[in-house]
Structures are given as structure tokens and as C-alpha cells.
Structure 1
């Protein structure tokens, strides 16, 4: 199937939902109710699952050229189309609430897509093709022309209202198709508002004022954050992307905007990443700390504590819905053909059922990192969460699990899981003075030391000359690069230095991309940034800088990173934009700024 490359897409967000717009002017993904909702534009996963295309009629022909950029410190995207007849700019945004500033961004987003067309030179013929298909493409709406010139699309629980300023709209049987001319100096606005068939109708905004408000809201938000480290431009932009993946009502950060974009074209490792992973917690907190975002960190802590609830004997789920939902059972959408024919297409993620022993370590480590923002005594919910997680680790660390890569085969004694169990108890011991007398730091310290001795004894494989992915295994795993990052071992430790060298030799090449394991066909960006951090901590700053710049070079033309990169072609793979990739970038940039950072 002929589909745009993953890197062809730009990301729009209102911190409630997100949309993807291609270089071809087509909005191919939008779940308007919230990030993990049902798509009304789903062409990303099937050519017939809905889109909204707005592009010069000459697009794709000789002489058509595209330039794109975000307006500074925003997720408002401006695309300039150069054609033989002239040039035109299309500016796309998901509207912010009127008057929203700073941390109000996304709290009450109106769920309105805004598109502005500006004639720059000459006279350009434009084409609009509006073909919504709600419920991930299962529904074809009825289209109703209204007296004021708008078109209402209604199907199932969804209402969409298409409005235009200065262009007559005509509804066909299942889509709106319009052609119009834009001359130099002329401006035309379009909007699509989302509403509920049995609830609130779509919000109507003045599109010019709405676009200006949205730009101001993003820029005001960014003005409240300062970053004074190296590579400030890419760090600031990655922080904007993380903000765009934040579900403002709860503070949860979605792992990605999309579901089922394949780790390899034609493969079946296609998962739904539109949820919030506790595993990502410490890395996210570290990135927010680097980017000076304490308010976001505090809200994310509150979300985590309430989502986890009181910790009992059952393993804490690795991921939750954006408002703390625990059961996000997975099913296959068999009617969708998948990105470039890659099936299955999944909605939901059954990893929530897995035992993953690394999760408590990530969460407690995040609390430790932001301890100074959280006060000398943690609030009750956070305190109970830390104690409960530490006790769970103390009682279960010796069990096998699925590991941080969420394998769907047998459980094993994964190295990274054991190391994160050590992290959980190490940080819990350090937090003990802030736990108001709760917990048992003496016992925790003893178990922590036992875990460390076990990892050092069982994790090293003499045959391979490295720490391997699981106890007793000869298979390398790039997650071993995490050991210096969490300060389990210094990067200069002889065995750790040997591990870094073996991972570089066996799991990487001159592209700078690091695969997670030998059979992984693509480079995993987070692991590549871990290697940057390891090289810095090993004293190889020049190599680290060169690697950082090479890896960040895989971002697309508007600075977005997906999950993985095809080392043969440089093509982006996996769900996009990927929070962990941007988190890895931020943290690696800060390590290059301050090698001693915790």
C-alpha cells in the first residue's frame, strides 16, 4: 500500500488529543475526545479510514515543493507549498481554549482543528477533501449542509462540523470535495469542531482569533520554563513535544500519539502506545527536571499515586489509561489493513497484565529525583505508594518477569528488572526520613545489598564478556546500558566498560543506532541515547557528542522522533512521536552538559 512515510507527519496537539498532518496536506490521524480515543481520521492505518486533505491541486506534480516548520515554541505547523502557479502557506493547529495561558493549556480544550490558507505569490488552485470515518473507520457519516454554509457530519456518537470562511462547501454522499483559488495576499480559514451526538455540540471558534490564541498559549507556556544546558534548541523542542503528549486533565504523559505503527514494515510487533507507562516515569521525571518543569512533575506524581492506589500483593500494572484506568484490554481491529499492510492493528495493550519487576524502581526513583520539590515529608498518598512499592519489591524481586521490553513469551530473570529492584530499595532507603516513620529501611537495605550481589554474580557472562539480558543467557540486551544511568555501576567499572564495548560492537554500527538485541532489525532510539550517556560517564566526551548529533539527525524535518530507525534506509519506524525518544534526547543532552548529574 502506498502510504506516506512515518517521517512525513507533523504533530498537532491541544493536550487533550493529537493529530498527524502529512507533507501531502492530509490530516490522517485524530482521536478528538482524547489521545487514546476512537479516530475520526484514520488513514494512517487504512486508506479508507478517513482523512482531511487540504493541498494545492498541483501537489505531487513537477514543480511542487514543500517546506515546513513549527511556529517558535509551539505545535502550530506552517507548511509552504511552492507550485509553478505560485506559493501558498497552510497553517494547522489544534485550538487552545480561549484565554488559556501557561499551565491552563489543555485543561478545557475545545476539540477544534484550525487550518489557515494564505496566498503568498501568484494564484494557486487548492483542493479540499473532507472524508471523516468515525470509530476507527467503521462508520461513514451522514453529511448535512446547513443554512449558514457549514457541513455537519454525524455518525454513531460523533458530530463533526466543517466550517469555511469565504469558500462555499458542498456535501457529497460521503465526503466534501471543493476546489478554490487563493491569490497572493488572500487568506481563507477552515475549522472542524468535534462534539457528542448526545451531549455538547461542536464548539464554534472565530478561526483567526482561535489560531492567534493558540500560538500565544503555547508560547506563554514555554516562557515559564528555562533550560540552560547544551543543545538548547533540540531540547526545547523535545520538551514542547512532551508537553504535547501530556493529557492535561490528569497530567499523564502518553507514550506516543499512535497505535500499531510497526517496528518493522510487514511485521506484527504493532502495539498501542496511547497510554501512560509507569516504567517511563523516572526517565520522564528526569527530562522534566532537566527542562525545569516542576509543576508538570508534581501533577504527574499525583496521577501516578491515584492510578496505582494502595499497593497490595498483585503486581503493579506497567501502564494505565490517561485517567488512571487499569483494564485496557487489547483487541484487534480486523477491518483495518494496517500501516503499509502491517497487521494486526491493536487497540488496547495487554502488557498491563504482565509482571514487570522494574516498575516500582522507576516510580520510586522518580520520587527521589524530585524530592526537593515534594517537601521534607511526602504527602500521604505518595508516602503510602513508596512504602507499598518497596515492600512489594522486597517480597518479589527473586521472581522471573517479562522484562522492560514486555516480551510475550516466557518469564525470565531479566538483568534490567533485577537492577531496577535494587534501585527501588536503594532510593526507598534514602527517602526513609521523608516517610513519617513508615517503612523498614534497615530491612530494605539488607535486601538491596542481596540483590546487588546477585546481579553482579549472575548477570555477568564470562563467555560473552558482558552483562547479558537475563541470568544465564548469552544474548546481549541494550538495556544493560541502563546500569550506569541509574548508578548501579560506574561506566568506568572494568566489567561495565567491557559491556559497553560489546554492545557497541554487536548491537550497533556506523549509523550510531543501537538495537535492543541481536535479532532486533531496527535501531531503538532510547538505547542510542543511553549509549551517549554511557560514553560521557566513561570519559569519552568527543565520541558521545558525535553520537548524539548523529542520532538526533534522524529526526524528521520538523524535529519529531518515532520509536525506531531502519539502519539501512534511515526511515522512521514505530509509533510517533515517541515520548521515550524525546526523553532520551533531553537526558543525553543534559548528561553532556553535566556528566555528574544523578
Structure 2
């Protein structure tokens, strides 16, 4: 059973993170609240500037379409889609609003997102009574820096024109008359009546915006999503949740390149009022192998292959420079970070950041994720790899062999001191372990004997330096007494069997000291929130320890922290139970898929 998390006071009119549902056309994404307000949309692509940014500041733009009188709200996605239907029950009657980012006309299956028209469609359907409705449209391009001119069009629509952006709003309710910097329009909807609205984006100096019939576009978008999911199958445990999470991952996939964005949003905080507010609208190589595994589990092989091709192309020819931990959606390396000082931040959590300077960090775990993904795909890549693939794998293995003794920033991308993080060293071991297995396909430059010797040295070092006798667990960094939930990743990576005495002790200590009665697992002892991915790692560890019944119970507790439409952000606040961090979070849904499969096939890698 999925339940909604409680709201928290976040300022006048500012919804909780869990109040938002996710729309996607696999090019861009939008967030729509329970109150009918679209408060986030970056129409050109996931990481482009917003035209609706009220998520991060009350004055940064929105588009609300809802009854004038508030009442009970029910909402759900159309099955196997990211098309949202919200039913408002008011004293005057009931009305449904169905929202979607339109697919290209006639797109089906894997064509979804390749040529998305960048059009938001909203269809209002009267269910009972006669319901007064209000449309409130206040676009603010460039993250709220621009207030557009609004021009009435001959067909009753409105053109919002500012800087590089042109937005065209049309609806079937008579002329939409602008009032300086916004459009406010009221109308009534009778039972059985259907009214559509469409909002089309276009570059101000490019081709004009596409014009769509909202009802036709909505039906075609539903058909595109349904056709897409018909090509995928999953018959394991928790099939509904896995299929939905696979749809969410598809929605976070930038179809033109195959990259998977870590989340739709930027700067939603890990702690209310805190400053760990980062931009997650990029693709992380650290998540690469976990994402590939989730795609295979959810029977999405084409997505896995396209993601792999994007990563190989983004890494490019190996040189002396380390591979960045993240890239832009089309493979850009330089995604330098800056702050948007004019935005107040969600619930006053500042700074608001665009870009992510983690691309500059030394992250020793990245090669392990990439080579592990190659190893997972090796049966599909041929008996002899092509020259570019050989060059990439050999180059990554040689980088690990040369640098594994260095400190780095670790899995959680700390911005203070570099340390010898346990998870980074283990993923160095993974890189060389998988490279040794792949050596027959890597050509003359492969050096499996030397790689194996270094691999074994890394393993011995981790087992010696990573263990803390006093705590009875592997800790977050060599010589540290601080527990870190990333130690739960060791059995998942096959570095240690979960039933190994020290590993079993680590799992038990992490569960006792970092876990909660609600099934959540914090990353470290001072973390005020449970990290959803770590909670799903604990599920996998319990299965591998042979505690299937307890693992199922834990899995179902974690499921209960999703919002009412089955979405997870990055974290769950331990005190209030509300979602925190960027949303929807790819890693949270990846963790769900992989844990569900582990519960289905306990011996599966």
C-alpha cells in the first residue's frame, strides 16, 4: 500500500515535495502539485532554465488549473504512463484534470521522446454538478529572472514572449485575456463537458511552437506510453511497483542520447534550511552499473544498450585525466556550478545551485561502475570488443592500477577533505576484478596478471584497513570509527558474501545503529533523514543473508514512504516522515527495482 507523506509548513502556499507528481516527454519534465499547479518545467530539456519555478521561489512562475473551491483530491497515473489524472471533489460537484507532456504525434514504443514537441496538455472533464474553475498562468522564464510580455492572439490564445523563450497558451473556453504579467480566467464545467488546454514552448528565434489539439494529443500520449511498456515485461515479485519505477526511469531518460538524469530537479534540500542543495539534472557514471542492472531486471534491454553507448561516447578517448563522475545529458564535461541568488529556495533552503562541481572531484569509484557495466553486457558485445571499447576498458583499468592508493571524495561526494573511503577502494577492486575476467576480449594491451595482483592487494588492504574491531563493522573510511551505510554495498558488489562473519556483523550494526523502525537507513549517524537507496540495499543484504521474510517486511515498509502516486525523492525525514531531496530520484527507484528482483531471485547477481 502506498501512502502520502504528511505535509510540513514550508511557507505560504508552498507544497511539500511529496505533493508533486511527475510528467515527462523524455526530453523535459514537469512537476504538478495536488492543488493543480505546475510549479516546475524546464521545457527545452531536463537541465535547461525553468519557465515555471515556483518550486524554488513563489515569484518564479507557475500554471494553476483547478476548481475555485478546494475539496478532496484523488489522483493516479494512467496505468504504465506518466499521464496524471487528478479528480477534485468540491461542494459544487466533481471534475477531473488530466495532465501530460505530449508525445510526438504518432510516436510509439521506443520513438517516445525522440522528437517531443515540448507541449503541456491539460484536459478538464466535468464528472458531476457544475464546477467553477480557475486558470492562473504566470510564466517566468530563466529561473524567474524574466517577466514576459503577454500578447492576445486572434484565435483567443496568449503568447508569452521573453528573452529566448516563446510560450503559446490556448484553451477551449473563449478568449484568454492577459492582465499585465499573467492570465487569470474563470469558467464553469458541467458534467459530461470536456475542455482542453495546451501550452507550447518554442525558442524565440527558431521555429514556431507546435499547435496540438489537447484531447487528441492526450489520447495519443497515453497510447505512446502504453505501446512503450508493452515491449517490456517483468514477472517477478512486486510487479506493479517495479513496472511503475521502470516508467519513472524511462521518464528520466533523455531520449535523444540515452542518458538517465539522476533527478528532475535542482536544489531540493537534504535538510530543510540546510545548504546541501545540489543540481541533480545530469547523468552520473557512479550510478551506471546499478542503472544498467535495473533496466535489465525491468526488461528494458534497449534502454540499457543506449545508456551504455552514451557512456562510452561521453568518456571518449582515454587520457591522463580521470573520468568525471557525472556528465551533461549529451555528454558535456564542463557543467560548472553557480548560484541563483535571486531565488529563495524551497522552504528557504539556500543556496539554489545550477550546475554541479562534483564533476571536478577525484572519484576513484567511477571506473569500477563502468567496467562492471561492460562485464554485465559482455555477452551482447561480442567475443572480440571493437578498438574503442578495448581502449576504454584497458584505459580505465590502468587508471585504477595507478591511482587506487589515493584519497578521494567518496560515494557521497563530500566537499571537505579527501579520505580513503571504503566504497571507493572496493569499486577499485571491482574494476580490476571485472577487467581480469574481460581480458580475453581486450587485446594485446590487457595485462590480467598484473591487474589480478593489484586487485588482490586492494582486497587485502580493504579487509585490513576498513575493519574496526571496536565497532564490529566495516566503517566509511580507513581508520574511521564512523559507520556508513555504503558498507551495505559490499555484498551487492560480490566483494564479500553477506554471510561472512565480519560482513554479517557489519550489516547487523548498520541496521541497529543507522536503521529505524520505519525501515529507513541513514547514511551516517548524524544524518537526519533516511536515504531511500540505502534502505533498499539493506533489503538485498538481508536476502543474501538468508533472511527472506525479514527482507520482505522491510521492503514493504520502505514502499510505504512513496507518495500517493508512487514517487520517491532522495530521502525521508526521520522526524516528520516527509520526503526530502531532489525528486523523483532515479537511484531510489533503481534501488526498488533491484531489491524486488533480489526478493524474486535470491541467488541472482
TM-score normalised by L of structure 1 = 0.99
TM-superposed deviation, 1:166? 3.2
Query: Equivalents in 1 of 2:441, 2:75: separation in Å?
Result: 49
Matched, 1:361 2:368: yes
| Alignment equivalent of 2:566, drawn from 535, 559, 569 | 559
Query: Equivalents in 1 of 2:114, 2:128: separation in Å?
Result: 39
Query: Equivalents in 1 of 2:384, 2:349: separation in Å?
Result: 50
Aligned position for 1:478: 485
| Alignment equivalent of 1:413, drawn from 411, 420, 437 | 420
Contact 2:279 2:353 in 1 (8 A): yes
| Alignment equivalent of 2:106, drawn from 87, 99, 103 | 99
TM-superposed deviation, 1:168? 2.4
Query: Equivalents in 2 of 1:370, 1:182: separation in Å?
Result: 54
Query: Equivalents in 1 of 2:459, 2:468: separation in Å?
Result: 16
Q: Secondary structure at the match of 1:271?
A: coil
1:99-156 deviation digits (Å, cap 9, x = unpaired): 1111110000000000000000000000000000000000000000011111000000
Contact 1:306 1:381 in 2 (8 A): no
TM-superposed deviation, 1:378? 2.5
Matched, 1:583 2:583: no
Aligned position for 2:272: 265
Query: Equivalents in 2 of 1:311, 1:292: separation in Å?
Result: 31
Matched, 1:516 2:527: no
TM-superposed deviation, 1:431? 1.1
| Alignment equivalent of 2:39, drawn from 20, 24, 28 | 28
TM-superposed deviation, 1:340? 0.7
TM-superposed deviation, 1:13? 0.1
Aligned position for 2:90: 83
Query: Equivalents in 2 of 1:202, 1:589: separation in Å?
Result: 42
Contact 1:507 1:517 in 2 (8 A): yes
1:403-461 deviation digits (Å, cap 9, x = unpaired): 00000001000000000000000011111122244421111111101100100011001
Contact 2:198 2:213 in 1 (8 A): no
Q: Secondary structure at the match of 1:312?
A: coil
TM-superposed deviation, 1:12? 0.2
Contact 1:432 1:438 in 2 (8 A): no
1:284-305 deviation digits (Å, cap 9, x = unpaired): 0000010111111111111101
Q: Secondary structure at the match of 1:181?
A: strand
TM-superposed deviation, 1:367? 1.2
Write out aligned runs for 1:76-475 (5 A).
76-475=83-482
Q: Secondary structure at the match of 2:142?
A: helix
| Alignment equivalent of 2:79, drawn from 72, 82, 87 | 72
Query: Equivalents in 2 of 1:379, 1:218: separation in Å?
Result: 35
1:203-229 deviation digits (Å, cap 9, x = unpaired): 111211111110010000000001111
Contact 1:167 1:180 in 2 (8 A): no
Aligned position for 2:56: 45
Query: Equivalents in 1 of 2:89, 2:603: separation in Å?
Result: 48
Contact 2:365 2:424 in 1 (8 A): yes
Q: Secondary structure at the match of 2:178?
A: coil
TM-superposed deviation, 1:463? 1.3
Gaps of 5+ in 2: 1-10
Query: Equivalents in 2 of 1:24, 1:395: separation in Å?
Result: 55
Q: Secondary structure at the match of 2:186?
A: strand
Query: Equivalents in 2 of 1:167, 1:484: separation in Å?
Result: 62
Q: Out of 19-28 and 372-381, give the one that drifted further.
A: 372-381
Contact 2:384 2:441 in 1 (8 A): yes
CA RMSD of aligned residues (A): 0.8
Contact 1:289 1:370 in 2 (8 A): no
Query: Equivalents in 2 of 1:412, 1:146: separation in Å?
Result: 60
Contact 2:169 2:197 in 1 (8 A): yes
Aligned length: 594
Aligned position for 1:57: 68
Contact 1:124 1:181 in 2 (8 A): yes
Query: Equivalents in 2 of 1:234, 1:358: separation in Å?
Result: 30
1:498-544 deviation digits (Å, cap 9, x = unpaired): 00011011111211110001111100000000000000000111110
Q: Secondary structure at the match of 2:143?
A: helix
Query: Equivalents in 2 of 1:381, 1:174: separation in Å?
Result: 53
TM-superposed deviation, 1:383? 2.4
Query: Equivalents in 2 of 1:74, 1:373: separation in Å?
Result: 29
Query: Equivalents in 2 of 1:437, 1:297: separation in Å?
Result: 28
| Alignment equivalent of 1:13, drawn from 4, 17, 24 | 24
Q: Out of 143-152 and 367-376, give the one that drifted further.
A: 367-376
TM-score normalised by L of structure 2 = 0.97
Query: Equivalents in 1 of 2:591, 2:262: separation in Å?
Result: 13
TM-superposed deviation, 1:95? 0.3
Q: Secondary structure at the match of 2:150?
A: strand
Query: Equivalents in 1 of 2:333, 2:189: separation in Å?
Result: 50
Matched, 1:535 2:542: yes
Contact 1:415 1:469 in 2 (8 A): yes
TM-superposed deviation, 1:58? 0.1
TM-superposed deviation, 1:30? 0.2
Gaps of 5+ in 1: none
Query: Equivalents in 2 of 1:382, 1:100: separation in Å?
Result: 32
Query: Equivalents in 1 of 2:210, 2:387: separation in Å?
Result: 40
Query: Equivalents in 2 of 1:392, 1:552: separation in Å?
Result: 39
Contact 2:155 2:175 in 1 (8 A): no
Aligned position for 2:6: none
